[in-house]
Protein backbone atom coordinates (compact mmCIF):
# COMPACT_ATOMS: atom_id res chain seq x y z
CA UNK A 1 0.00 0.00 0.00
CA UNK A 2 1.38 3.38 -0.84
CA UNK A 3 1.69 6.23 1.65
CA UNK A 4 -1.25 8.30 0.25
CA UNK A 5 -3.70 5.40 0.69
CA UNK A 6 -2.54 4.89 4.31
CA UNK A 7 -3.10 8.60 5.05
CA UNK A 8 -6.61 8.52 3.56
CA UNK A 9 -7.53 5.39 5.52
CA UNK A 10 -6.20 6.95 8.74
CA UNK A 11 -8.24 10.12 8.18
CA UNK A 12 -11.41 8.09 7.50
CA UNK A 13 -10.93 6.08 10.70
CA UNK A 14 -10.36 9.23 12.79
CA UNK A 15 -13.43 10.91 11.24
CA UNK A 16 -15.53 7.81 11.93
CA UNK A 17 -14.47 7.71 15.58
CA UNK A 18 -15.23 11.42 15.95
CA UNK A 19 -18.67 10.96 14.37
CA UNK A 20 -19.45 8.02 16.65
CA UNK A 21 -18.39 10.02 19.72
CA UNK A 22 -20.69 12.88 18.67
CA UNK A 23 -23.68 10.52 18.23
CA UNK A 24 -23.08 8.91 21.64
CA UNK A 25 -22.76 12.29 23.39
CA UNK A 26 -25.87 13.68 21.65
CA UNK A 27 -27.91 10.62 22.65
CA UNK A 28 -26.91 11.19 26.29
CA UNK A 29 -28.05 14.81 26.22
CA UNK A 30 -24.59 16.38 26.18
CA UNK A 31 -25.80 19.18 23.90
CA UNK A 32 -28.82 20.29 25.93
CA UNK A 33 -29.16 23.84 27.35
CA UNK A 34 -26.47 25.01 29.78
CA UNK A 35 -27.38 23.67 33.18
CA UNK A 36 -25.80 24.17 36.60
CA UNK A 37 -27.66 22.25 39.29
CA UNK A 38 -31.30 23.07 38.52
CA UNK A 39 -30.65 26.50 36.96
CA UNK A 40 -31.03 26.52 33.19
CA UNK A 41 -30.60 29.16 30.50
CA UNK A 42 -32.82 28.95 27.42
CA UNK A 43 -33.11 31.23 24.40
CA UNK A 44 -36.27 31.44 22.34
CA UNK A 45 -39.05 33.62 20.98
CA UNK A 46 -41.85 35.03 23.10
CA UNK A 47 -45.26 33.88 21.89
CA UNK A 48 -48.71 32.70 22.92
CA UNK A 49 -48.73 29.36 24.71
CA UNK A 50 -50.79 26.73 22.87
CA UNK A 51 -53.60 25.07 24.79
CA UNK A 52 -53.65 21.30 25.34
CA UNK A 53 -56.62 21.04 22.95
CA UNK A 54 -54.34 22.25 20.12
CA UNK A 55 -55.69 25.77 19.80
CA UNK A 56 -53.87 29.03 20.48
CA UNK A 57 -55.77 31.95 22.03
CA UNK A 58 -55.86 35.35 20.33
CA UNK A 59 -52.71 37.42 20.99
CA UNK A 60 -54.54 39.97 23.16
CA UNK A 61 -55.89 37.30 25.52
CA UNK A 62 -53.16 34.66 25.53
CA UNK A 63 -50.61 33.66 28.15
CA UNK A 64 -47.13 34.46 26.84
CA UNK A 65 -44.35 31.91 27.09
CA UNK A 66 -41.11 30.96 25.36
CA UNK A 67 -40.88 28.91 22.14
CA UNK A 68 -37.46 27.26 21.82
CA UNK A 69 -35.60 26.55 18.58
CA UNK A 70 -37.37 23.18 18.30
CA UNK A 71 -40.78 24.85 18.38
CA UNK A 72 -41.60 23.60 21.88
CA UNK A 73 -42.96 25.91 24.56
CA UNK A 74 -42.00 26.72 28.15
CA UNK A 75 -44.40 28.31 30.59
CA UNK A 76 -42.70 31.21 32.37
CA UNK A 77 -43.40 32.10 36.00
CA UNK A 78 -42.22 34.94 38.23
CA UNK A 79 -42.21 37.43 35.36
CA UNK A 80 -44.91 39.95 34.46
CA UNK A 81 -46.56 39.52 31.07
CA UNK A 82 -45.77 43.17 30.22
CA UNK A 83 -42.04 42.36 30.61
CA UNK A 84 -42.23 39.83 27.77
CA UNK A 85 -41.78 41.43 24.34
CA UNK A 86 -44.10 39.38 22.10
CA UNK A 87 -42.38 38.11 18.95
CA UNK A 88 -38.88 38.98 20.22
CA UNK A 89 -36.02 36.59 21.03
CA UNK A 90 -35.10 36.55 24.70
CA UNK A 91 -32.83 34.59 27.00
CA UNK A 92 -34.26 33.44 30.32
CA UNK A 93 -32.51 31.82 33.27
CA UNK A 94 -34.01 30.01 36.23
CA UNK A 95 -34.97 26.63 37.64
CA UNK A 96 -36.74 24.41 35.13
CA UNK A 97 -39.35 21.86 36.17
CA UNK A 98 -41.83 19.50 34.57
CA UNK A 99 -45.14 21.10 33.58
CA UNK A 100 -47.85 21.14 36.21
CA UNK A 101 -50.33 18.30 35.79
CA UNK A 102 -53.21 20.80 35.96
CA UNK A 103 -51.70 23.20 33.39
CA UNK A 104 -54.03 24.03 30.51
CA UNK A 105 -51.07 24.70 28.21
CA UNK A 106 -49.22 22.32 25.91
CA UNK A 107 -45.71 22.96 27.27
CA UNK A 108 -42.60 20.86 27.88
CA UNK A 109 -41.80 22.54 31.19
CA UNK A 110 -42.13 25.49 33.52
CA UNK A 111 -39.38 27.97 34.38
CA UNK A 112 -39.36 30.28 37.38
CA UNK A 113 -37.53 33.18 35.71
CA UNK A 114 -34.71 34.68 37.78
CA UNK A 115 -33.29 36.86 35.02
CA UNK A 116 -34.08 37.66 31.40
CA UNK A 117 -32.67 39.75 28.58
CA UNK A 118 -33.22 40.42 24.89
CA UNK A 119 -31.24 38.04 22.70
CA UNK A 120 -29.62 38.96 19.42
| 63 neighbors 46 (Cβ within 8 angstroms) | no
Residue 104 belongs to domain spanning: 35-118
Average pLDDT, rounded, for the chain: 80
Residues 40 and 79 occupy one common structural domain: yes
Cβ atoms 59, 48 nearer than 8 A: yes
Query: What is the per-residue pLDDT across 6-64, written as a single tens digit (0 to 9) for each?
Result: 755 665 555 556 554 454 455 555 445 554 458 889 999 999 999 999 898 888 888 99
Classified as helix, coil or strand, 71 is coil
- In sign, the C-alpha dihedral spanning 120, 105, 56, 69 is positive
Same domain, 52 and 13: no
Q: Would the pLDDT of 90 be above 90?
A: yes
Domain count, the chain: 2
pTM above 0.85, yes or no: no
Residues 17 and 63 in one domain: no
Amino acid sequence: MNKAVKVVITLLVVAGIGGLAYVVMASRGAFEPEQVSNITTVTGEVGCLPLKDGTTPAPKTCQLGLRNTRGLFLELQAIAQNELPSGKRIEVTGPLSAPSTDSKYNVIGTMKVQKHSLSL
